[in-house]
Structure 1
Amino acid sequence: MQKELIKDSSNGWVVYRRLMQYVKGDWPMFSLALFGFVLYAATQTAAAKWLENFINAVEANNFSERGWLALSIILIFAVRGAGTLLGNYGFSYVARSLVNRLRCQMFDHLLVLPCSFYQQHSSAELLSRLTYNVEQVTGAATDALKTIVREGLTVVGLFGYMLYLNWKLTLLFVLVAPLVGAVVALASKRLRRLSHGIQSSVGDISTAASEAIKGYQVVRIFGGADAERERFVKVSERNRRQFMKMVVTQSISTPIVQMLVASVVALLTYIAMSPSLLESMQTGAFIAFISAASFMAKPIRQLTEVNSTIQKGLAAAESFFSLFDEKPEVDRGTVKLAHAKGKVEFRDVSFIYPRSEEPALKHISFVIQPGETVALVGRSGSGKSTMASLLPRFFDVEQGQILLDDRPLSDYWLSSLRSQIGLVNQHVVLFEGTIAENIAYGALANASEADIRAAADAAMVSEFADRLPAGLNTIIGENGFLLSGGQRQRIAIARAILKDAPLLILDEATSALDTESERFIQTALERVIQDRTTLIIAHRLSTIERADRILVMEHGQVVEQGSHAELLAKGGSYAALYNMQFSDM
């Protein structure tokens, strides 16, 4: 996707036009900034004109004009200051609004992208887009845009004044324009390509650092510090090389353009000082012409130097737009589900993960009646968690159907469907905030304190929370790092209890609990699962002995099903798993 975007927008105009769509609401401020820089550019031309009048006045001994010449200097700098203020503030305002819109749209889009997208992109890479890449857009939208408008208008004003003084000499600048354009175009292509490389390397740096920091215990216990250091140095060195290549490209292209401009100015000086030309021009006009040509050197240099910033911004914008072009979750549902009865049916369901060739599920068919508790057991990789992820439509099946209350899941609105499901994952996700805020998360935020307390009591959260200084209002830190694994999992269970959904998915919900906590949680869960459809995924078979039905999975298929006693009596796969777990007890 991104490569196609780069190809389509090789000249940058496609990306710029798309960026400009985000500043439509700020046109009044943009116009104010443009007006400010028009004033600034006008003062440059006015300075050249002032020089012409000053020299002519001195040459003609017309000293009576010294008063207005002195006042005009003050006026020129006053107007320049006002123009600079309006231009800088206006463009900064527009730029920050642009960045804010891009960042918020990216975050909003990330919230609706399918799960398959997150399997293909690391969190560190996405975070680098939100942080590093967005600042590159800021550079292009502030410093670069200000320079382009301010110096561009200055060049236009000076060029027009030179045409007014002597159009024949001024046309020499036109002759060198194609050469300057060719140099800038070649440099732009390379700078854009290098900018993409730098942004990619920043994502690699973020990934390497994030994994090493999050896994610091494993790194130290298994002596991985040297390997992680070598990995980080490698990606950091790649970033350094890419950046230096950009510096070299910029350092070569800018002097070339400057030399071309200097050559034209030198040629102008040589031609302008010919006797025949000096006779046809007044001294003031001649000096003003040479001064205006010299004044153009600085803005042209700044325009060429800003090219690298522009290309960085374009590359960053392309990375944003490639993400925006990712299709969100498909939601063609038309039915709003108020309260599900809880009947679930898998009808000949097969499923293959994106970028995988081996099916995760093969022709799965079974029915869960309302209020029934069904457990899925099997070795790792047998497809248990895949089945659990299909029910909330984290992935859509392409072969077969999953039905809820005798209607395909695709008939329901996604939000409506997911509101009927409570979920406790093996990998608990908690957020910065208090214990109570994590229990009453999202749509549950308006729950009463009494309901939150009841859920905390049922999940045994109160057992440890009451010993904390602020109780349920204790701040738990990023992802609950101040809590133990068992405590974090109990909070997740309390969250599911508070939701009180008619369908409940417990994916290794007691995996992080010690034996004593597990016993209490099992008692709580037995109360919670009453009168609701429950799908339990467990490795520890002791936690699902009381399930109404147990499905045994191997290689994506259901090989056995029945109650705990029935499966033990069969002496098949379940009995083998059971005996393996309890043979040493």
Structure 2
Amino acid sequence: MPANRADRLLWRTACRSPGWLVSLGGVSVVGAVAALLLPDAVARAVDAALAVGDAAAAWSTLVLAVLLVAADGVGELAQAHCAASGTAWLRRRLTRHLMALEMREHRRFAPGDMVSRLSGDAAEAGGVGPLCVQLLTALVVSLGAVVALALLDWWLAVVFLVSVPVALRLAGTHLRRTNDDVAAYQRLSGELSARLLDAVRGVRTIEAAGAVEREVGRVLRPLPALAEAGRGMWRSQAVLVWRAGLLLPAVEVAVLTTAGMGVSSGRMSVGDLVAAAGYVALGMTAIRYGPHLTRLARARAAAARLLAVLDVPTRAGGGRPAPPGAGRIVLCGVSVHGERGEPLLSSVDLVVPEGAMVAVVGRSGSGKSTLAAVVAGLLEPDRGQVLLDGVPLRDLRSDGMGALVACAFERPTLLGATVADAIAYGCDVSSRPSPEALRSAAAAAQVDDVIARLPRGMDTPMDAVPLSGGEAQRFGLARALAREARVLVLDDAMSSVDAATEARLTHAVTSSLPGRTRVVVTHRLTTAARADLVLWLDGGRVRGYAPHHDLWCEPDYRSVFAVP
């Protein structure tokens, strides 16, 4: 097992398809043997033809040529299977790891950069198995050709081996020059992808602001450094190619001159001269495969980039099943810090009674969304703990949290092939809501009128449904309501709807969900007034926790809603 961690990841990737890898190794051995025997067979055929002998040597040449072609064909198939298997394994592993990361850890990587790692880097690293087999086969063929030259005439091998130190130095210099350029190229490619994805997402804002040219400049800012890294790679590649291109003819001239002297002195036959020409070309196979060293350097750099994600710790889910209870939430000394160490929540102690609706209010940046994420189990606090019906959230099985806590967000992402799939998203097949339950959730979320206008109703493909911001929020709320979870967390999930719709939604959340515990992040006075309790946050601390009418006498509380 390699000592370098990136190389260990590549080793495990190469072993994802052992059957095909062994098959590739087998046909590579067959191909190598056929390639090494072919020059000798051609030599015997030439000598037989000159001596007007039998045609057995010609037939053996034909058989070896057919065998070589067949081995190449099977090898191409095995290479494709190995590369596809390794790439798929890396992408599955990276995707699972990303899905298991805490919310704050996701912010380390821009979406465009992650797309680059999932697509480009996984493909580069996934093909390392066939690549190593190719390089190893090239080395074996080269060594076999040197042995064959020695068997023909030891002077041929001596002349050929003089070039080996030059070749090894050439390969080593190429790797050293290429590694840094490859790593920089892949890093800058990821940065360029991240900037481009941000620009595509905000294209309407960019156009409305008249900032197209400025944004193009921002997106393309890494391009000069990317171009320089690319030029560095190609300069190294070009040096290797032209030096190898000069080295092969020089070695061929030297070896064939020595072979010609052998023929003239009677040590070698004309067929041996032909074989020497073939073995010189085979002996230089490792040099001709020099560009594959660039691919190997890219695979190692890609593995290092994948490890940068895989090394980020994931949420450590517990093994306890869902406890009995009705959704009582307790926060004990919960503190959360941001990326720069700034406090987002500071020593929050809170009890949310089962079945109660708690509105979370405060100015922008007061910690409302952070608290919602902590209650939902999406964010592990740096200190303290969150209890659901007496059991710490961290001790509960992560695959069972969806049945306990349902969430709706300000900007929901609607996933699923159809409208029905989008509303039922996240539910197990065994617990998928019935069509009646889906319609009921859509009606409670005030999105049933939108569905009624669709050509196929609930069966309409989701990508064919144009939605405004408010409609998307209502779909996200319907998805949360359909799960019938013990706790419902709404993080500003009604901010984009009009006042009349917001009133109906608030009524549905407060009156139509008996027995559910609801934590609602809101900026609206009407929602806070309808809640059982209001949690007033200020700078990450609890400023007040009481019914709305008890807090209303505080001027600072009224100013949260811009009321003097």
Tell me which interval the TM-score lies in, with the shorter structure as reference length: over 0.9
Structure 1 pair 101–230 and aligned structure 2 pair: CA distance change class (3 A) = same
Structure 2 residue 75 is matched with structure 1 residue 87:
yes
2: CA distance, partners of 1:343 / 1:201: 48
Structure 2 contact 260–273 (Cα < 8 Å) conserved? no
User: Following the alignment from structure 1 to structure 2, what is the Cα–Cα distance between the partners of residues 77 and 131?
Assistant: 38
Alignment of structure 1 residues 265-344 onto 2, 5 Å = 265-274=252-261, 278-279=264-265, 281-284=267-270, 286-288=272-274, 290-296=276-282, 299-331=285-317, 333-344=318-329
Match of residue 347 from structure 1:
332
Counterpart among 57, 70, 92 of residue 104 in structure 1 = 92
Distance, in Å, in 2 between the alignment partners of 1:50 and 1:502 is 79
| Distance across 1 between alignment mates of 2:248 and 2:411 | 63
Residues 1:464 and 2:450 aligned together? yes
The reply to whether residue 394 of structure 1 matches residue 382 of structure 2 is no
Aligned to 1:403: 387
Q: Of the candidates 166, 175, 178, which is equivalent to residue 188 of structure 1?
A: 175
- How far is the alpha carbon of 1:549 from its aligned partner? 1.5
Structure 1's unaligned 5+ residue stretches are 1-5
Contact 2:146–2:283 (Cα < 8 Å) also in 1: no
Q: Distance in 2 between the 1:15 and 1:440 partners?
A: 40
**Could you tell me how far apart the structure 2 residues matched to 1:384 and 1:460 are?**
25
Shift of 1:150: 4.6
1:576 corresponds to 2:559:
yes
Q: 1:531: how far off?
A: 1.9
Q: Secondary structure at the match of 1:294?
A: helix
Q: Distance in 1 between matches of 2:283 and 2:160?
A: 11
**Which amino acid counterpart does residue 193 of structure 1 have in structure 2?**
D
Greater CA deviation, 533-542 or 300-309? 300-309
| Inter-CA distance 548–539: structure 2 relative to 1 (3 Å threshold) | same
Q: Deviations over 1:133-168 (max 9, x none)?
A: 2332355445x4464255334323322211222235
Query: Which amino acid in structure 1 is aligned with residue 459 of structure 2?
Result: N
Letter in 1 for 2:27: G
* Partner of residue 366, structure 1: 350
User: C-alpha separation between the residues in 2 aligned to 1:218 and 1:556?
Assistant: 31
Secondary structure (helix, strand or coil) at the match of 2:343 reads: coil
* CA distance 1:156–1:382, shift in 2 (3 Å): same
Does structure 2 retain, via aligned residues, the 8 Å contact 1:124–1:207? yes
Residues 358 and 518, structure 2, Cα contact 8 Å, conserved in 1: yes
Per-residue deviation, 1:179? 3.3
Q: Residue 532 of structure 1 aligns to which amino acid in structure 2?
A: R
- Other-structure match for 1:75: 63
Structure 2 counterpart of 1:340, which letter? G
1:385 maps to 2:376: no
Output the CA distance in 1 between the equivalents of 2:320 and 2:134: 54
In the alignment, is the contact (CA less than 8 A) between 2:38 and 2:65 conserved in 1? no
Question: Could you tell me which residue of structure 1 aligns to residue 147 of structure 2?
Answer: 160
Give the deviation of 1:508 after TM superposition: 1.1
Relative to structure 1, the CA distance from residue 73 to residue 169 in structure 2 (aligned partners, 3 Å threshold; closer, same or farther) is closer
Deviation digits for residues 82-111 of structure 1, max 9, x if unmatched?
111222212222221111212222212222
- The 1:215–1:339 alpha-carbon spacing in structure 2 relative to 1, beyond 3 Å, is farther
Give distance in 2, aligned partners of 1:272 and 1:458: 91
Shift of 1:49: 1.0
Report the CA distance between 1:444 and its aligned residue: 5.1
Letter of the 1:426 counterpart: E
Higher deviation after alignment, 226-235 or 487-496: 226-235
| SS of residue paired to 2:413 | coil
| Cα distance between partner residues in 2 of 1:89 and 1:16 | 25
Q: Which moved more, 1:333-342 or 1:557-566?
A: 333-342
CA distance in 2 between counterparts of 1:399 and 1:97 reads 42
| Cα-to-partner distance string for 1:257-299 (whole Å, 9 max, x where unaligned) | 4444544444434444557x85361223651453134323652
Distance 1:139 1:342, change over 3 A: closer
Deviates more, 1:317-326 or 1:242-251: 317-326
Structure 2 counterpart of 1:573, which letter? D
From 40, 57, 61, the counterpart of 1:49: 40
Gaps of 5+ in 2: none
Q: Distance in 2 between matches of 1:560 and 1:93?
A: 62
Q: Secondary structure at the match of 1:342?
A: coil
Aligned pair count? Answer: 561
Task: Provide the rounded CA distance (Å) in 1 between the counterparts of 2:248 and 2:540.
Answer: 70
- Counterparts in 2 of 1:52 and 1:343: CA distance versus 1, 3 Å: same
Q: Identity rate of aligned residues, in percent? A: 22
Partner of 1:454: 440
- 1:114 and 1:278 mapped to 2: Cα distance? 77
Letter in 2 for 1:246: M
Task: Output the TM-score relative to the length of structure 2.
Answer: 0.92
Name the counterpart of 1:3. Answer: none
In the TM superposition, residue 71 of structure 1 has moved relative to its aligned partner by: 2.2
The reply on whether 1:63 has 2:52 as its aligned counterpart is yes
TM-aligned CA distance change 1:16 to 1:292, over 3 Å:
farther
- Matched residue of 2:552: which SS? helix
CA distance in 1, matches of 2:532, 2:97: 41
Matched residues in 2 for 1:154 and 1:139: separation? 21
User: Partner of 1:227 in structure 2?
Assistant: 214
1:127 is matched with which residue: 115, 127, 151?
Answer: 115
Q: 1:216 to 1:308 in 2, by over 3 A?
A: same
Pick from 555, 558, 569 the counterpart of residue 539 of structure 2. Answer: 555
The two structures have a TM-score, normalised by structure 1, of 0.89
Amino acid in structure 2 at the alignment position of 1:574: Y
SS at match of 1:397: coil
**What is the Cα deviation at residue 325 of structure 1?**
2.9
The residue type paired with residue 473 of structure 2 is Q
1:352 Cα deviation from its structure 2 partner = 0.7
Distance change (3 Å), C-alpha of 1:36 and 1:347: closer
2:402–2:426 contact (8 Å) kept in structure 1: no
8 Å CA contact 1:147, 1:302 repeated in 2: no
- 3-state SS of paired residue (1:296): helix
CA offsets 1:152-208 (integer angstroms, 9 cap, x no match): 343233222112222354144444333322321221133222222221222122122
- Kept after mapping to 2: 8 A contact 1:162/1:292: no
Q: Distance in 1 between matches of 2:19 and 2:560?
A: 71
Q: 1: CA distance between counterparts of 2:273 and 2:35?
A: 15
| Residue equivalent to 1:516 | 500
